[in-house]
A and B are shown apart, each in its own frame.
Chain A
Amino acid sequence: MRQQYAVRSMLVVAGLVLAVLAVIVQIIRIQTSEQAEVFLVQGDRYAGEFQMFYPERGEIYDRNGHLLAGNRTVYEVGVSLREMESPEAMASALSANLGLTFEEVYKKLTESPETWEYVVIQDYVAVDAAEKLKRLVEQLDNADDPRLSGLAFKPHLQRSYPENALASNILGFVTRDGRGYFGVEEKYNDLLAGNPVQIWVPRDPNKATEIPKVPNGTTLVLTINRDLQARVESILDQALSEYGAQNGTILVTNPRNGEILAMAATPRMDLNNYGNYFSLYDNGSQYNRTIGATYEPGSVLKVLTMAAALDAGTVTPETTLIDTGAIEVGGITIQNWNRDAWGQQNMTGCLQHSLNVCLAWISSQMGTQSFYGYMDRFGIGHPTGVDLSGEAPGRLKHPGDGDWYPVDLGTNAFGQGIAVTPLQMLMAASAIANEGKMATPHVLYSMLRDGHQYNVPSQYAGSPISAETAHTLNDMLAVSLEEESSMALLPGYRLAGKTGTAQIPTDYGYDGFHTNVSFVGWGPADDPQFMVYIWMEQPSTSIWASETAAPVFSKVAEQTVILLNIPPDVVRSQVTK
């Protein structure tokens, strides 16, 4: 009996052992089978996901801490297809709140590929619309109504410009793919955008990984003064309207360090609606005409010719010339703007009356090597290196170029046959206002990264003339302005400057009816703290810069001294004493 039990027990044990062995063998077989690898891969795939951490795009401030470009919350509205109960109700609610058609939404909800679990209905939805939908979902949830179940809202940031069109030509814009176009947004896109970081985020909370440090994009502080920019843009718009000009630009800089304080150009666009770009601009060079558009500057370039001649010792302020009203250069006769003979003139008189004959004579006396050498050193025909996207280099023909003729030596001296940008002219003339030295114009004042502020030092762009020459010419231009262009003056302040009325070249010679008017000036003359350049295209009320650009300069100078706290000369001299 006892033996029988022992045998049975052994059989049961053997059976169990066999079963256990079978299970173990099966486990090993499954684990090592070919299918196991597939399942392992699948398991790994669902164990977590790669997530891209995009840094917040850096902000852009003006020099006084006013936000010019920031970020705003918007929503991606989508539907989790597995949780969706009623495509009809969903399409109805979404189309009513998102400005889409019912058919459009319904098609997305019902005709998405079967493998899709989630479908985006609309991205960049404004907070108001999203909040409205959220409230609707909440109401239905409270009533246990599942008709909008599966509706999801994913918030994220979108570039936003609180000042709308203000300084749009400087800032540029960012499209929805996060790329900057034009201006600061394009030039500093890499800094502003920061570096996205992709990491594997496990779903298993036991494997919670550390948060990767994704530093925000670098925040930029510009040299722009927002209030001055607003005033200058307003003055430009008024001037274009008052003088019937097609387009215009106004630049205000600090000649000492090249900081751009204001840079107004037309047309401007609301940066929050950058879709209007194509309706406003024919090509990229029009986006910011102060750096992208070139033109023949006309008589404002005479200040550079005079600076070169004084510096080379070709003339002195007292050098006299008998102006007969015409001069022949390279076999071509050059005349004054009014075709008159102005008789004996010294060099101040040549500038004061803007005599083409005088300046053509000066450049002829200098010779091609000296004249073009100085123009090169002034940066004519070269980009200034301004930290904005889309700068044009301009054009300065040289002897030996296929399209250079001997007469160009004469005409170039008074700004014909040369293509410059307003910023190029301003930088060149800044040598006269700044002891003979030029500073590279720039808009970046400092960068803020990881809680530190890094100021950007000014860049030296060369010394085309000596400090003595600069002082001499500065005084000549102040006298010239006082005696000739009274509309540019500002009571209480001694300013220096020069008008420029330029004919417009066409395929058939120069346009006899339209001009481009310019003005370059600075102040106070004894201690220049601001510099202004004005360019208006084809004013219709008057073709003369002295009647159009000069008064605009006066208005800009008036606002500049107020906003930059520059007291009148009398007060300043008292403080200095």
Chain B
Amino acid sequence: MAAAVPYTTNRPNIKVVMQGQATQIIHAYRQAPWRVQRQWVGVFLLVVIGVAMVAALYLDVTARTAVTGREIQEMRLQITTIQRETADLETQLADLTSTAAMQSRALALGYRPVQPGELDYVAVPGFAQPEPAILLAAKDTSPETETLPAEYTQSLLEWFEDSIKFGGLP
């Protein structure tokens, strides 16, 4: 009866090999520390680039908001000016068509007040005396503003805060 022979191979022991490689790597880094530094620099640069991108985005949004805000202020001023000018023009028109002005213009054109005997009445079946008309020109012209969505008014931080509070994060 033959004795059991353990399994053998010519390949080197893997444990020994790995220990050897690790030693070599450590040794290599000890020999070249710039490898570690480069990795740190890489990470740092990545963070810097990320922050810069967020900052640039924020600046861009802020700049656009500022420009739009200024435009809104200017438009508000324009609306006020136009409303004032409209009211002024209406009054000027009323000046030109006032009773006294129209009467003097009519007289200058050779007209005179009608006398009762000079009027002819014609019966028109179904005619009804018109009621005073709705004065369309006198409509309220003040601007109607709809509430702007929060996305257009809140800052990034406010949006973030709201999202945390109300659980609206995407």
Task: Name A's B-contacting residues (CB within 8 A).
Answer: 55-56, 59, 61, 63-67, 70-73, 155-157, 160, 162-164, 166, 204-208, 210-211, 213-216, 219, 221, 226-227, 230, 445-446, 448-451, 453, 490-492, 558, 561-562, 565, 567-568, 571, 574-575
A162, B95: Cβ atoms closer than 8 Å = yes
In the bound complex, residues from chain B placing their C-beta under 8 Å from that of A221 are 132, 135, 138
By Cβ-Cβ distance, the 7 closest A-B pairs, closest first, are A205-B69, A208-B69, A162-B94, A67-B94, A70-B91, A567-B121, A73-B88
Interface: B97 (CB within 8 A): yes
**Size class of the B contact interface (CB-based, 8 Å):** 35 or more
Q: B37 within 8 Å of A by Cβ?
A: no
Contact between chains at A216 and B141 (CB < 8 Å): yes
Contact of B140 among A166, A204, A216 (CB under 8 A): A216
Query: Are A72 and B91 in contact, CB atoms less than 8 angstroms apart?
Result: yes
Known contacts A70-B94, A157-B84; A164/B100 CB under 8 A:
yes
Residues of A within 8 A of B116 (CB): 490-492, 558, 561-562
Q: Is B139 an interface residue (CB 8 A)?
A: yes
Which residue in A163, A204, A208 is a CB contact (below 8 Å) of B72?
Answer: A208
**A55 adjacent to B142 (CB under 8 Å):** yes
Chain A contacts for B91, CB-based, 8 A:
67, 70-72, 160, 162
Partner of A65 from B73, B79, B114, B137 at Cβ < 8 Å:
B137
Cα A67 to Cα B76 in complex, Å, equals: 27
**B residues engaging A (CB < 8 A)?**
62, 65-70, 72-73, 76, 79, 81, 83-85, 87-88, 90-95, 97-100, 103, 114, 116, 119, 121, 123, 129, 132-135, 137-145, 147-148
A376 CB to nearest B CB, Å: 35
Q: Is the CB of B140 within 8 A of A215?
A: yes
Contact of A208 among B73, B81, B84, B129 (CB under 8 A): B73
Report the Cα distance A63→B129, complex, angstroms. 14
Contacting residues, chain B, for A214 (C-beta < 8 A): 142
Q: Is the CB of B119 within 8 A of A210?
A: no
For residue B92, which residue of chain A has the nearest CB? A72
Interface of B is mostly: helix
Kindly identify which residue among A70, A166, A207, A451 contacts B139, using a CB–CB cutoff of 8 Å.
Answer: A451
Q: How far is the CA of A214 from the CA of B140 in the complex (A)?
A: 10
| CB-contact partner of B90 in A67, A226, A449, A453, under 8 A | A67
Q: How far is the CA of A422 from the CA of B88 in the complex (A)?
A: 37
What chain A residues lie within 8 Å of B83 (beta carbons)? 56
How many whole Å from A220's CB to the nearest CB in chain B?
Answer: 9
Contact A210:B145 (CB < 8 A) given known A65-B132, A445-B132, A558-B116: yes
CB of B119 within 8 A of CB of A562, answer: yes
Q: List 16 A-B contacts (CB under 8 A).
A: A56-B87, A64-B132, A65-B133, A67-B90, A71-B91, A73-B87, A166-B98, A205-B68, A205-B73, A206-B65, A216-B141, A219-B138, A446-B132, A450-B140, A561-B116, A574-B123
Among the listed B66, B97, B140, which residue makes an inter-chain contact with A66, where contact means beta carbons less than 8 Å apart?
B97
| Chain B residues with CB under 8 A of A490 | 116
The answer to whether B90 touches A59, judged by C-beta atoms less than 8 angstroms apart, is yes
